[in-house]
Amino acid sequence: MNRRSAARLVLAGLTLSLALGCNPAAAEESTLRIGYQRSSALISLLREDATLETALKPLGVTVSWHEFTSGLPIMEALNVGRIDVSADVADTVPVFAQAANAKITYIAQEAASPEAQAILVPGDSPLKTVADLKGRKVAVTKGAGSHYLLLAALKAEGLPFKSINPAYLTPADGRSALSGGSVDAWVAWDPFLSAAQIQAGARILRDGTGLSAYKRYYLASDAYAEKRADVLTLLVTKLREAGTWVKANPDAAAARLGALWKIEPEIVKQANARRSYRVEPVSRAGLAEQQTIADAFRAEGLLPRAVDASALPVWELPSR
């Protein structure tokens, strides 16, 4: 498969919906429709204890929750009007959505968490540095933040991506491949990263420090961001409160999220320690790494066109 074909596959879900011109009628404004992934920590906590519903009740707004398997389908649903807001997605996801002309707005971000993703090798691996990956088989999830980390790590060693043999796998398959010896390394993010360390004795070859900030972004459809500043203000406020609570109560947070995710609290606690969970505004200046990611993926043939990462709208929390 050539690089152009790979790019088309990565963007298939988004571009198909755009080509069809799908734009279902917007839901009643009395319902906030949130798209999330199982690993969306702060949204998961708000959903579990109905904190957000309680906050929105005086506005006459209810919440409907829509689970997705990954970030790109969330962006597709956001673009075509099936949901209003997305929970946190990795930094690479808005770049792909923008390349597919999605009508989305940044509303908040979780501050940098570079240690929350890393290149892993088996505990007894002879590999000691990223340079040792040359000629080796490396598992990575195509288009994920971990994919950019791998690109950046190789570049820092003066190695092109073609110097390794990539195996494009889901996180679950990547871990199995590493444990089974069919790949030499695996690029993972938390909580998969912590699970592999604690349960399988995997060793970190290099994390994202100095290579990839690994911010996570919350987005809304352009239309919703323009109309419902009141709802978004409450949502961002509650996300901030949830993030502060997680960091202040590591054991309780690990217990709650572990129960939701069916993961041992020990794993969740380690993963949470690496995540900032600091919800803050998005600034155009702060999107510089988004541009670096877009340029790197474009150079590898993963994006069908150049992207100006600063061109997406940025919602601002109204001043009081």
- SS3 sequence, the chain? CCHHHHHHHHCHHHHHHHHHCCCCCCCCCCEEEEEEECCCHHHHHHHHHCHHHHHHHHHCCEEEEEEECCHHHHHHHHHCCCCCEEEEEECHHHHHHHHCCCCEEEEEEECCCHHHEEEEECCCCCCCCHHHHCCCEEEECCCCHHHHHHHHHHHHCCCCHHHCEEEECCHHHHHHHHHHCCCCEEEEECCHHHHHHHHHCCEEEEECCCCCCCCEEEEEEHHHHHHCHHHHHHHHHHHHHHHHHHHHCHHHHHHHHHHHHCCCHHHHHHHHHHCCCCEECCCCHHHHHHHHHHHHHHHCCCCCCCCCHHHCCECCCCCC
By DSSP bridging, strand 104-110 and strand 216-221 are antiparallel
Considering 5-14, 211-220, 301-310, the range whose residues carry the highest mean pLDDT is 211-220
pLDDT digits (tens, 9 = 90+) for 14-29: 544 444 344 443 445 7
Q: What is the pLDDT of residue 20?
A: 38
pLDDT digits (tens, 9 = 90+) for 265-295: 999 999 999 999 999 999 988 999 999 999 9
Query: Hey, what amino acid is at 5?
Result: S
Same fold, 3-112+215-261+277-311 and 114-207: yes
- Which of these CATH numbers, 3.40.50.10470, 3.40.50.1820, 3.40.190.10, 1.20.120.530, describes 114-207? 3.40.190.10
Residue ranges covered by each domain of the chain: 3-112+215-261+277-311, 114-207
pLDDT of 142 over the 50 cut: yes
Q: Indicate the pTM of the whole model.
A: 0.88
Determine the Cα angle at 132 with ends 129 and 136, to 5°.
Answer: 135
Q: What is the pLDDT of residue 320?
A: 59
Which of 68-72, 117-121, 213-217, 251-255 is the least confident region?
Answer: 68-72
Greatest C-alpha distance within the chain: 60
Query: Can you tell me the distance from the alpha carbon of 97 to that of 320, in angstroms, rounded to the nearest whole number?
Result: 32
Q: What is the pLDDT of residue 21?
A: 40
For the record, the structure tokens of 213 come out as: 């900030």
pLDDT of 13 over the 70 cut: no
Cα separation of the two ends of the chain: 54
Are residues 118 and 208 in contact, defined by beta-carbon separation less than 8 angstroms? yes
Determine the Cα angle at 3 with ends 68 and 309, to 5°.
Answer: 60
Q: What is the pLDDT of residue 264?
A: 97
Query: Hey, what amino acid is at 57?
Result: K
- Which of these CATH numbers, 3.90.79.10, 3.40.50.300, 3.40.190.10, 3.20.20.140, describes 3-112+215-261+277-311? 3.40.190.10
